[in-house]
Amino acid sequence: MKKSEPLSESYYYILLCLAKGANHGYGIMQMTEELSKGDVKIGSGTMYGATSNMMKKGWIREIVSDGAGFERRRQYQLTDSGRDILRAEIKRLKRMLENAEEV
Amino acid sequence: MANKYKYSFALHSAWNYQNEVEELDKYSENGWQLVKAALFHRKYVKNEKIRYRYQLDFRRIEDKGRYIETFREQGWEYVDSTINGWHYFRKIYDPSLPEEEYEIFTDRESFNAMKKNWARIALVIAIFGGIMALIYGIKLIMVPSVPFLLLFLTFLIEFSVLFRGVLIMRAKESKRKRNRYRDSVLITVFFLTIILGTSSGIFLSGKRPNITVNRIPEANEESVNNERIADFEVKYPDNYFLDLGIESKDPMTFEVVNENGESVYKVTDTSFHEDDIRLNLKKGTYYFSMSCDTYYNLNCNIN
């Protein structure tokens, strides 16, 4: 695999929030805030741009739930290549942390 | 009860679009709520019971449903879009919420991507203006005249203003000072200049005489003496350009004569071919005149 660019904070958190299963934009936003204890926020413009881009790259896909009684709602799901990207990024971040501890 | 409406016509430059956001917030504070946003005007309805905060986004939307939903999820109501791709959102204002609740871009990457999006489209239009300025610049050097000067200047202004905008929008940091009041005036002047410049350029080039005369020899043609062969009208003083071709056995005299009977251009020759002869003509009526003893062949055009 080609060495990829580091992910932006928003991209990273969106992928991370989808790691355990599909979620909608608002869920991603809330989960990001919880995980980062309010340090990272994903505004609507940032969210739309990031999800559009990652769908184009094939890292995530859109699924529309239309179960009875529920509001028709769009959710995002991680693809296999999205999972690979996330794993590679986590590895990179771990290495950077380990390096920091060594110094 | 009839709704009370209000319109505003202020233009804003894309690179100072935050001025527009502030203006919309101000309108909302004063009880005027945006209902429609277009390129040149906006429409508001009176409602003092509510106060909104606005945000603008620029992009080409592939999936409008998903787009609007992504914003709605965080309390943003979609209001309207302009034809060139600016989208207007608003959120009910709650003074207890932190200021960042009213931001739609929460990282520099996405904010820069939005600005670059605009810059990419504007660059295409700027380059088009640049090419047109170049074309009319070359024409102006070859055949200097008022319509070409107007079109050249108009496209040059279009190019410079938009290109400057592109550079501003592509700049990573935007710590520039925004000129809150002058921007709107400058952009209005810019648009008027573009509209007036191109329309008057096209209008004036349509007002130029475009007279073509082709005389081919006929058998035993009688000699002609100062024959008035075509009239034309000059509607505004400028350089006009004459293409002239003469072939004749005996010397032929060709003249351009003004309404006082004075010759403004004269040539006597048996063989003469020249294009774009520059004549500086005043407003008035003119005619072509020719004299020749024998067989002749004449082509001329003025515009």
pLDDT tens sequence across B67-100 = 999 999 999 999 999 999 999 999 999 999 999 8
Cα torsion angle, B82, B83, B87, B89, sign: positive
What pLDDT is attached to residue B226?
A: 85
Does A8 contact B109 at a Cβ distance shorter than 8 Å? yes
What pLDDT is attached to residue B179?
A: 65
Q: Does B113 touch chain A (CB under 8 A)?
A: yes
What pLDDT is attached to residue B176?
A: 61
Q: Is the per-residue pLDDT at A3 higher than 60?
A: no
Other CB atoms within a 10 A radius of the CB of residue A100 amount to 8
Does B73 contact A24 at a Cβ distance shorter than 8 Å? yes
Q: Is the per-residue pLDDT at A47 higher than 70?
A: yes
Does A25 contact B70 at a Cβ distance shorter than 8 Å? yes
The tokens for A32 are 């990001």
Over range A27-38, report the average pLDDT. 95
pLDDT tens sequence across A61-74 = 999 876 654 556 78
DSSP per position, A19-37: TTS-B-HHHHHHHHHHHTT
Question: Which residue's entry shows tokens 């058998």?
Answer: B219
DSSP per position, B23-64: HHHHHHHTTEEEEEE-SS-EEEEE-TT--EEEEEEE---S-H
Which residues of A sit within 8 Å Cβ distance of B?
Answer: 8-10, 24-26, 29, 40-52, 62, 74
pLDDT tens sequence across B187-197 = 999 999 999 99
Q: Is the per-residue pLDDT at B235 higher than 60?
A: yes
pLDDT tens sequence across B270-288 = 999 999 999 999 999 999 9
Minimal Cα–Cα distance from B63 to chain A, Å?
9
B250 band by pLDDT with thresholds 50, 70 and 90: confident
Q: Does B173 touch chain A (CB under 8 A)?
A: no
A19 band by pLDDT with thresholds 50, 70 and 90: very high
Does B76 contact A25 at a Cβ distance shorter than 8 Å? no
Over range A49-61, report the average pLDDT. 96
Other CB atoms within a 10 A radius of the CB of residue B198 amount to 16
CA distance B127 to B102: 35
Q: Which residues 6+ apart lie within 8 Å of B78 measured at CB?
A: B68, B71, B72, B87, B88, B89
Q: Which residues 6+ apart lie within 8 Å of B67 measured at CB?
A: A48, B61, B87
Note the helical H segments in chain B: 17-29, 64-72, 108-142, 146-170, 182-206
What pLDDT is attached to residue B87?
A: 97
What pLDDT is attached to residue B174?
A: 57
Q: Which residues 6+ apart lie within 8 Å of A95 measured at CB?
A: none
What pLDDT is attached to residue B5?
A: 93
Does A50 contact B110 at a Cβ distance shorter than 8 Å? yes
pLDDT tens sequence across B115-152 = 999 999 999 999 999 999 999 999 999 999 999 999 99
pLDDT tens sequence across B24-73 = 999 999 999 999 999 889 999 999 999 999 999 999 998 999 999 999 99
* Averaged pLDDT score across all residues of chain B: 91
Which pTM value belongs to this model? 0.85
Over range B220-238, report the average pLDDT. 86
What pLDDT is attached to residue A64?
A: 81
Answer yes or no: are the C-beta atoms of B288 and B229 closer than 8 Å: yes
Q: Does B62 touch chain A (CB under 8 A)?
A: yes
CA distances for B232 relative to B93, B283, B301, angstroms: 68, 11, 11
Residue ranges of E strands in A1-103: 60-65, 73-78
Q: Using a CB-CB distance cutoff of 8 angstroms, which residues of chain A are in contact with residue B114?
A: 45, 49
Q: Is the per-residue pLDDT at B169 higher than 90?
A: yes
Burial B109-130 (b: 16+ CB within 10 A, else e): bbbbbbbebbbebbbebbeebb
Answer yes or no: are the C-beta atoms of B267 and B244 closer than 8 Å: yes
What pLDDT is attached to residue B178?
A: 65
The tokens for B173 are 């940091």
What pLDDT is attached to residue B297?
A: 86
Over range B194-221, report the average pLDDT. 87
Look at residues B139, B281, B140, B136 and name the one whose alpha carbon lies nearest to residue B211: B281
Over range B8-31, report the average pLDDT. 91
ipTM above 0.85, yes or no: yes
Return the percentage of chain B with pLDDT > 70, whole number: 95
Does B104 contact A24 at a Cβ distance shorter than 8 Å? no
Q: Is the per-residue pLDDT at B241 higher than 70?
A: yes
What pLDDT is attached to residue B175?
A: 60
pLDDT tens sequence across A70-88 = 556 789 999 999 999 999 9
What pLDDT is attached to residue B285?
A: 95
Chain A with chain B: Cβ pairs closer than 8 A: 67
